[in-house]
Chains A and B, each alone.
Chain A
Amino acid sequence: MNTEQLNILKEKAKKNRLLALEGIFLAKSGHPGGSFSIAELVTYLYNCEMKVSPADPQMQNRDRLVLSKGHAAPALYAALAQKGFFPEEELKSLRKIGSFLQGHPDSKKTPGIDMSTGSLGQGLSTACGMAFDNQDNFNVYCIVGDGELQEGQIWEAVMLANHFNLSNLYVFVDYNKVQLSGPVDEISLPGDIAKKFETFGWFATEIDGHNFEEIEAALTACKAENRPSVIVCNTVKGKGVSFMEGNPKWHGNAPNAEQYEAAVKEILAAE
């Protein structure tokens, strides 16, 4: 990745945060923290990694993405709009009656959404199912939250993926250290997440989830392996807005007008 490409991606991630935040602000509800922590990840996936077609969202051999932590939908919707799946203007209808942009991803309503999610712990199983019959030779990407790892179903899926060696499955753990009611390690010690996956037979690597070059290198490493892989992304919840960073209060709260303005300024000022 050269400097120019890198700068383009950085600009796109900035825009991703602005669009996500605008939707949340206008809806007066939503989840800014967990949306901001995956801004770089979804930006990278849709611009550098995934084989998808905005003109043909249902293309059979497309790569699939399951946002298992479905409450981060604003980041995903923004990425889809930025990619051209629908006009950015539509993002303003987030969470409103009649909108095709529901509070959590709805694959029936939104072009580009491959699986409905929102109830935590279920997405990875569906991603396994997608990866199973790989006649069309596509990849399946799945983003799970660090708090979400507490759901037992996640580990049922982890064992299944290993058993059936779903090598076209790439999982990202958004390790932002915070869940809804507080720091993850105060609620349920996550331990060494990468090592846990390794113990279950997966290839695991750990990166800075806000660094595009590290995301790229990690995916390259995963592809050299012939087994399911996980990329543990060290991130900051609420990344990009100082008063939101690492603060559980911004897990699921919308900013008021004053906070919104301050947040936009900060996001714009970022390098």
Chain B
Amino acid sequence: MADIATREAYGKALVELGKEHKFYVLSADLADSVKVDYFKKAFPERYIECGIAEANMMGVAAGIASTGVPAVASSYAMFTAGRAYEQIRNSIAYPNLHVVIGASHSGVSVGEDGATHQCCEDIALMRVIPGMTVISPCDAIEATQATKAALLEAKGPVYLRLSRPTSPAVNREDYKFELGKGVVLADGKDVTIVATGLMVAKAMQAREILLAKGIDAAVINIHTIKPIDSELLTTYAKKTGNIVTVEEHSTIGGLGSAVAEVLCENAPCKLTRVGVDDKFGVSGPSNDVLAYFGLTAEGIAEKVEKAVK
């Protein structure tokens, strides 16, 4: 599959799913950006344009879901997890309603729009809500299947974290997504890199850089951050004794914290968290911003090398 953004794969997957399943899709004046315009075109009678009113959109999604029809509510990560946090918690999660929150433009790779639009806190905010499933696909192949799983397999509220830039394909076409199961993309004995979302492809590139330096790193893709695959993480903590987490998110509360929780209780070992270090984002072209925060293959390799020494 060509390099496609996860938001694009999500938008197309919704159309495919819409052919056989009844659900509503809602957006808040961002249908084009979050790619639900495909669904809007295909099923206008099941698309609800809410206008620039995200909190209201979450309430409407909750109401629809309460009648037994799933709802998919879409905007940027900032304006879903951020803007409508309490509506998600109290109107969607507390009654345990099946609403899929499609949150595009997560992390700093949003680029030029800058800090107000770069949400690096959403994984933390969402995973702390009881009953919430949190999924962060790494490429289009995974995003397509994750959208399906979120809608048809998961129960209750689901947060689907999507990205603005194109993602290089990590998985093969025959890849099978399993909700809640981490994926070992490469085995290794010296250290384990645990990554999610856009950082998975970068972690794989980092692995190559490290191999050239004699460091044999395993790479695990944690696409489901909640519930997290404790078993796999525990196995690799014991096997390599050294874990480095990589995410396009704050190092506080996200994947790194979730992994730390698992390790502390099951297999304490050295842990290094790579991500956005307690800072707001900045404006710039997507790749420049990622580089600014050290979220490149080279930046990751450097941190891993340090962790191994």
Contacts and interface: CB of A to CB of B under 8 A. Distances in A.
B23 interface: no
A102 B114 contact: yes
Interface on chain A toward B: helix, strand, loop, or mixed SS? loop
A95 B55 CA distance: 28
Interface of B: 29-33, 37, 49, 51-53, 55-56, 78-79, 82-83, 111-117, 282-285, 288-289, 292
A152 B29 contact: no
Contacts of B51: 147, 150, 179, 187-188
23 contacts: A95-B283, A96-B284, A96-B285, A97-B282, A97-B283, A98-B282, A98-B284, A101-B283, A102-B114, A102-B283, A103-B112, A104-B113, A106-B114, A117-B116, A118-B113, A118-B114, A118-B115, A119-B116, A121-B52, A151-B53, A152-B56, A179-B51, A180-B29
Given A96-B288, A102-B115, 9 more contacts: A70-B116, A95-B284, A96-B285, A103-B113, A119-B116, A150-B51, A151-B53, A181-B31, A187-B51
A63 interface: no
Nearest to A70: B116
B113 A179 contact: no
Interface string A128-165: 00000000000000000001101110000000000000
Contact of A181 (B49, B117, B285): B49
A116 interface: yes
A112 interface: no
A103 B114 contact: yes
Given A96-B283, A97-B288, A181-B30, A148 B52 contact: yes
Contacts of A30: 112
Given A97-B283, A187-B51, A181 B112 contact: no
A5 interface: no
A96 B78 CA distance: 21
Given A99-B283, A119-B78, A187-B51, A106 B115 contact: yes
Nearest to A104: B116
A120 interface: yes
A242 to B, nearest CB: 23
Contacts of B31: 181
A106 B49 CA distance: 30
Contacts of A180: 29-30, 32-33, 52
A27 interface: yes
Contacts of A104: 113-117
Interface of A: 27-30, 70, 95-99, 101-104, 106, 116-121, 147-148, 150-152, 179-181, 187-188
A97 B289 contact: yes
B7 to A, nearest CB: 15
Contacts of B289: 97
Contacts of A148: 52
Contacts of B283: 95-97, 99, 101-103
Given A97-B288, A97-B292, A119-B79, A187 B114 contact: no
B107 to A, nearest CB: 15
B62 to A, nearest CB: 16
Contacts of A96: 283-285, 288
B165 to A, nearest CB: 13
A104 B76 CA distance: 16
Nearest to A147: B52
Contacts of A29: 111-113
Nearest to A30: B112
B288 A181 contact: no
A123 to B, nearest CB: 11
Contact of B32 (A70, A120, A152, A181): A181
B284 A150 contact: no
A32 B56 CA distance: 28
A118 B51 CA distance: 16
Contacts of B82: 119
B282 A179 contact: no
A102 B118 CA distance: 12
The 5 lowest CB-CB distance pairs between A and B, nearest first, are A118-B116, A97-B284, A103-B114, A188-B51, A150-B51
